[in-house]
Structure formats: structure tokens, C-alpha cells
A = this chain, B = another copy of it.
Amino acid sequence: MMQNFELTILGCGSATPTSNRNPTAQLLNVAERFFLIDCGEATQIQLRRFKLKFQRINHIFISHLHGDHYLGLVGLISSMHLLGRTFDLNIYCPPELKEIIDIQLKHSQTYLKYNIIYHFHTYQNNVLLFEDDKVEVRTIVLNHRIPCCGFLFKEKPLLASILKNKIEQFKIPLEQIVDIKSGADFITESGEVIPNNKLVTNKIKPRSYAYCSDTCYDERIIEHLQGVNLLYHEATFMHDMLPRAKETFHSTTLQAATIAQKAEVKTLMIGHYSARYKDLQPLLEEAKTVFDNTILAVEGESIRLNFETE
């Protein structure tokens, strides 16, 4: 069974919520590690609504301190506490967020039964925020009105399948199998080097997800997005609103699609839609004129990234 790499959209709206779009929040499951990415108001309600267990979230990534990206955090922290959480919660965020959380816990006289471990943004690219045996998370510096950080989630290289008949043919000992699955060549008793690609099948490419919200059009991010399986890039406006996009340090559909095209990503997901758009199809169609493999972020919907063999 292939490990999961699945993104669920909890909120896809921008700053002023509409009756059917919540502010930004996403839940990423990589191999049963649950990463919450931004946490707009009512995120805990959305998690409930979509029956996602929020106590399984151990890592929360906050891009920046505009309310539509973090106002749901204190409520979530508080509910985790009320429901008996005792294990650590990691928050990757701007340093000022700690102050905002602390003052609210203080005035509500809430003494958490678990620890929050803060990891503050330094606003440099490619900083390793998190890593374990399955996944790593790195920073992507975005360009917004206030300091803002995107995130790149990347699966660790996965083991290939070893060909059974080759084990017999070359008499490969048990203790070398993991090395070969990880990419090693095999040297036979007679000294012959059997290259790895002769021994394995299904060499799986690690999957990756890049999260870019909020940001104006900025080509400096492209090098960090090169070839990712899924890119989420905000598209607050349609392209006729370019002046407004520039003024507010947001992007248009065409700009998001241009970034996707230049970074040669597999799939682009747009979101952070302005409340002015009731129907999202025109945004999708406009983006597709530049980058065909574009999809819309839709609340409650999940996208599962399929693996590809090399």
C-alpha cells in the first residue's frame, strides 16, 4: 500500500469571508503525518465538519499575520486543551504570533496541559523547518504586504521494489536488500557490479507540495517550485483586476498560471478567491489559458497525489 500524500482544503476564501467560503486553511497528510497549513477563523469548525481528527495535528504552519490566515488558531489550541491533549504541538510562525497567543491564554486564565513548541520564521529561503524519516518541510519566501512565508513539503525518497528473480539469480543476501531498495548497486561474489536499475522496479519519485499564499507575482520563487507535483498559488483576482492585485500584493489567475508554467509543476491549484467572485469557473478558465493543468481549491475537497515511477 502506497503511503498517503493528500491535501484537504478547509478554507479557500480571502480576507472577508462569504457565506460559503471560509478563510484559508489546509490539511496535508503525508504518510499519516498531519500538517495544518494556515488556520483562518473557524478552521476548527471546518475540521469538525469534514470529520478530520484535529488531535492528530502535531505541526501547524502559519504563513503570516493577516487575520484570515491565523485567527482560528487560539480557538483550536484551546479546544485541543479542553479535549485533553497532553502531547506537544509545534507551531512554525512569525515570532509575533507567540505574543498574540500568550496574551489570550493569559487573559482567559487558560493553563495548557500540553506544550507549544514555537519555530519562528527567519524569512530566508530553503530553511529546513521539519524533517523525519518520511517528509521534510522547507521555507519559500513570499512577497506580501507584511512578512510572509510559504512552505515546500517533500516526501523522503521511497524504497523501490526489488525484483524477486534477481535475488535468486545473483544470490543476493538478505542484509543487502534494504540498501538495494534504497538505490545501491550489487557486487556479486565474482566481483561483477550489477547496477541498481537492473535489480529494482517501481522506483518511485518522491512527491512534493508547495504552498504559496499570499504573494504578489514574484519570479524569485520559481526556482524553489521547480517540478513540484502540486503547487498551490493564490489567485485572489482575475487578470482585469491586475492594478488592484499589485496594490494589495496579491496575484491574478494569469500570474499564478505563469508561475506554474515557468516552474514546470505538474498541477496548479488556485485559491484565496476575492469575495467578489461568486462563480469560480471564470477564474479557472482564465488560468487554464496559460497553464492547462489547473484546478480550483474547493472546501471539503481533497486531492491525493499519485506516485510516479522514474
Chain A residues near B (Cβ < 8 Å): 15-19, 22-23, 41-42, 44-45, 48-49, 51, 65-68, 71-72, 74-75, 78-79, 82-83, 94, 96-97, 99-100, 103-104, 107-110, 145-146
Contact = CB atoms under 8 A, between A and B. Distances in A.
Given A17-B45, A18-B48, A42-B42, A100 B96 contact: no
27 contacts: A15-B78, A15-B82, A16-B83, A17-B44, A17-B45, A18-B48, A19-B45, A19-B48, A22-B45, A41-B44, A41-B71, A41-B75, A42-B42, A42-B45, A66-B108, A67-B74, A67-B75, A67-B78, A67-B108, A67-B110, A71-B71, A71-B74, A94-B107, A97-B107, A100-B103, A103-B103, A107-B146
A71 B74 CA distance: 8
Contact of A108 (B17, B74, B146): B146
Lowest 5 CB-CB distances: which A-B pairs, in order? A42-B42, A19-B48, A96-B107, A41-B75, A65-B107
A67 to B, nearest CB: 5
Contacts of A94: 107
Contact of A41 (B42, B83, B103): B42
B103 A99 contact: yes
Contacts of A23: 75
A44 B42 CA distance: 10
Contacts of A83: 16
Given A67-B108, A103-B100, A107-B96, A17 B146 contact: no
A96 B42 CA distance: 23
B44 A79 contact: no
A45 B40 CA distance: 12
Contacts of A18: 48
Contacts of A22: 45
A191 B79 CA distance: 72
A78 B44 CA distance: 20
Given A22-B45, A45-B42, A48-B19, A104 B108 contact: no
Nearest to A23: B75
A144 to B, nearest CB: 11
Contacts of A146: 107-109
Given A19-B49, A99-B103, 19 more contacts: A15-B79, A16-B83, A17-B45, A17-B75, A22-B45, A41-B42, A41-B44, A41-B71, A41-B72, A67-B74, A67-B75, A67-B104, A71-B71, A96-B107, A97-B107, A100-B104, A107-B146, A109-B145, A109-B146
